[in-house]
Amino acid sequence: MSTTPITWFEIGTDRPDEAERFYGELFGWTFEEQGAANGGSYRVTGAGAGEGIGGAIRATDGTTPNYAVFYAEVADVAETCRRAEAAGGKVLIPVRTAPSGLSFAHLLDPAGNHLGVFTPPPSA
C-alpha cells in the first residue's frame, strides 16, 4: 500500500474560460479564481466534493502546450526529485516554493508522462 496519495490535479490551457465551462457542464464543477504569483488566472475547484481530489485550471500564454497533470503529495519535494532522476525520470520544473509555503516540482517519467509532486505549506 502506497503512502503517497494523489491529492491534486491541474489543467493548463490557453482557453481557461472554455475549460471552466466544459468541466462545469460535464461534471457540475464550480471554480473560484485565486490568481497566481505571475498574475495569471488560477481557478480552483473542490471537484470531488469530499469523495475525490481538488484541482485547478491554470491559464497559459499559448506558448506552453495545454496539459493535464496529477500531483502526488510527498514529504520532501527535493528528495522526490532526486529519486525520480535516479529511477530514470527527469525534473521539468525544479523545486519552487509558493508564497504560502507550498513546495512543488514537475517531473517527467521515463515514458514521457508529466506529473507533479508537492508538499503542503507548514501548519501555522
Q: Is 1 a domain residue?
A: no
Q: What is the CATH number for 107?
A: 3.10.180.10
- 67 belongs to a structural domain: yes
Say if 81 falls within a structural domain.
yes
Let me know if residue 103 belongs to a domain: yes
Question: Which 8-state DSSP code applies to residue 122?
Answer: P
User: Whole-angstrom Cα distance, residue 17 to residue 59?
Assistant: 9
Number of independent structural domains in the chain: 1
Identify the helix (H) or strand (E) that includes residue 27: helix 16-27
Per-residue pLDDT of the chain (124 residues; tens, 9 = 90+): 567 888 889 998 888 999 999 888 877 888 999 876 566 888 998 766 666 788 999 898 888 888 889 999 999 999 999 999 999 999 999 999 988 899 999 999 988 888 999 999 988 5
Instruction: Give the range of the structural domain holding residue 69, as residue numbers without chain letter.
Output: 6-119
The pTM assigned to this predicted structure is: 0.75
Q: Is residue 34 part of a domain?
A: yes
* Residue 60, in any domain of the structure: yes
67 vs 120: CA distance, rounded Å: 22
Q: Which sign, positive or negative, has the C-alpha torsion 52, 57, 58, 60? A: positive
- Assess if residue 124 is contained within a domain: no
Q: Are the CB atoms for 91 and 109 separated by under 8 Å? A: no
Count CB atoms within 10 A of the CB of residue 30: 13
**SS3 annotation, 28-51:** CCCCEECCCCCCCCEEEECCCCCC
pLDDT for 29: 86
